[in-house]
């Protein structure tokens, strides 16, 4: 657990430096939101989810502030903004140094989980070879039923 907290602290410092580099203040609201994402780094949080998490530690924060902060963090490349087709944007850390992952979205309960393993690398290479097109990113989502919901379909 101590190693994880050190990792969070390092990540937090990098983000703070990036914000300062772009002349943004590190307000208490932004600090609280960043900490919520660091503590829930495996989650795909909406603005509403984030608001519910942070309002306990920072009761004066408004939902509009959360939306603005999430959009700013996405604009700076700190967070990745995702659309999973449920009418709410979800955010997760943009891990440029990690291997690409894909999302599995349950169409019954809305649960979002990740599928590690980039099966599209060979397809990207083929596209580049055949078309001379340089692929810089891709986004793949699978929609279906999670194990829990699948068992209730019968």
Give the annotated binding-site residues: 100, 106, 109, 121, 138, 146, 149
Here the tokens at position 130 are: 């055949």
User: Which residues contribute to the annotated binding site for Zn(2+)?
Assistant: 106, 109, 146, 149
**Summary count for the chain: helices (H), strands (E):** 6, 6
The owner of tokens 């203040």 is 25
Are 54 and 66 in contact, with CB atoms under 8 Å apart?
A: yes
**Terminus-to-terminus CA distance in the chain, angstroms?**
42
| CA-based nearest residue to 54, from 42, 67, 134 | 67
Are 144 and 112 in contact, with CB atoms under 8 Å apart?
A: no
SS3 call for 12: helix
User: Which residues contribute to the annotated binding site for Fe cation?
Assistant: 100, 121, 138
């Amino acid at each position: 657990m101590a190693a994880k907290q050190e990792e969070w602290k390092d990540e937090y410092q990098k983000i703070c430096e990036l914000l300062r580099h772009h002349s943004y203040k590190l307000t208490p609201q932004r600090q609280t939101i960043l900490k919520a994402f660091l503590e829930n780094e495996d989650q795909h949080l909406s603005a509403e989810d984030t608001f519910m998490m942070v309002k306990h530690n920072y009761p004066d924060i408004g939902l509009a502030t959360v939306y603005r902060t999430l959009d700013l963090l996405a604009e700076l490349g700190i967070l990745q903004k995702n659309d999973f087709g449920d009418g709410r944007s979800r955010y997760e850390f943009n891990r440029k140094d990690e291997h690409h992952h894909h999302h599995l979205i349950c169409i019954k309960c809305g649960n979002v989980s990740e599928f590690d393993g980039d099966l599209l690398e060979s397809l990207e290479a083929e596209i580049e070879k055949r078309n001379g097109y340089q692929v810089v990113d891709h986004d793949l989502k699978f929609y279906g039923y999670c194990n829990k919901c699948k068992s209730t379909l019968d």
